[in-house]
Amino acid sequence: MAGWLEVTSMGGPATVQDAGRPGQMHHGVPPGGALVPGLLALANRAVGNPWGAAALESFGRLELRGRGRELRVSVDGRVFTVAEGESVTVPAPESASVRYVAVDGGLAVPEVLGGRGTLLVAKLGGLEGRLLRAGDALPLGDGGGTPEVLELGDTLDTDAPIRVTLGPDVERFDEATRKALLTNTFTVSPASDRVGMRLKGAALAHGDEGAGTSRPMVRGAIQVTLSGEPIVLGPDHPTTGGYPLIATVIRADWSRLCARRPGTPVRFIAVSVEQAREAWHRHVERFRFTR
């Protein structure tokens, strides 16, 4: 046995999350994965884990206890040692929307459809596909990896605009609406969750009566509802949808957007597909992403 991590108390929702389970959309299963991949990578690399190893994603305070062995623990990249039987308090997130707690060896919960992370909308992964509760004990893998310090740089810059590629439904929005997306400042709604981030601000009129054909969705797609409210799809997004898509957040900016707390401003800037690919290439080099 490689030890256990026990949850003794909690002050907000927490789940097990990892790099996700891509390639399951044809089964109706969204990719899931960390809400803020950059912070997951930061936490995991600091204790020698692969960037996408299973860790805790927490929206509130946590109290944890190590069992079975000494643990190397990383909270958003800040590393400390927890002796066998010792308890530690992890404060609630401060600047970002969530924080990640990684343990050397990773959380060795069962792998389901290629991933260990919790997918609440499908009730699978993590511990029985549910939110964690006080008293839960999470098995740990064997540690021994080489720690690595990653630099976040401007990845979580809440003042930076979010880069998008326009489309694929730009023809369903008039010029004034397309301009409104790129010139107005929106704010993150408290109604946001892992399925989608709702944005408050200027309504994006499109005149669509919901008659659009349902088609596959992707993380980062910006759906516009009948009321004109934009919703940026998150990791637990529905696999299909019919609302028109005005733009898609580039993958390199997922962390920058999803780390923002309710009330935080959001501005968009359009880039080309080539610029999006180059930004992702630089992102992969910074965080050592493997998928």
Q: What is the pLDDT of residues 232-242, one digit of tens each?
A: 999 999 999 88
Q: Report the pLDDT value the prediction gives residue 194, as an integer from 0 to 100.
A: 96
Percent of the chain with pLDDT over 90: 80
Write down the mean pLDDT value for the chain: 93
Going from N- to C-terminal start, the domains of the chain cover 4-139, 162-287
Distances from the Cα of 186 to the Cα of 35, 50, 74, 81, angstroms:
20, 35, 33, 41
143's CB contacts (< 8 A; 6+ apart) are 2, 47, 48, 72, 103, 104, 105
Q: Report the pLDDT value the prediction gives residue 205, as an integer from 0 to 100.
A: 84
Work out the average pLDDT over 96-112. 96
Q: Which of 197, 196, 248, 206 is nearest to 227 (CA)?
A: 206
Q: Report the pLDDT value the prediction gives residue 132, as an integer from 0 to 100.
A: 98
Work out the average pLDDT over 107-123. 95
**Residue 92 contacts residue 126 (beta carbons within 8 Å):** no
Q: What is the pTM of this model?
A: 0.94
Q: Rounded to a whole number, what is the distance in angstroms from the first to the last CA of the chain?
A: 29
Confidence bin at 15 (pLDDT 50/70/90): very high
pLDDT digits (tens, 9 = 90+) for 83-94: 999 999 999 998
Pick the CATH number of 162-287 from 1.10.3720.10, 3.50.50.100, 2.40.100.10, 3.30.565.10: 2.40.100.10
Structure tokens at 271: 């880039």
Encode burial over 35-46: b for 16+ CB neighbours within 10 A, e otherwise. bbbbbbbbbbbb
Work out the average pLDDT over 265-289. 92
Residue listed under structure tokens 């949808």: 241
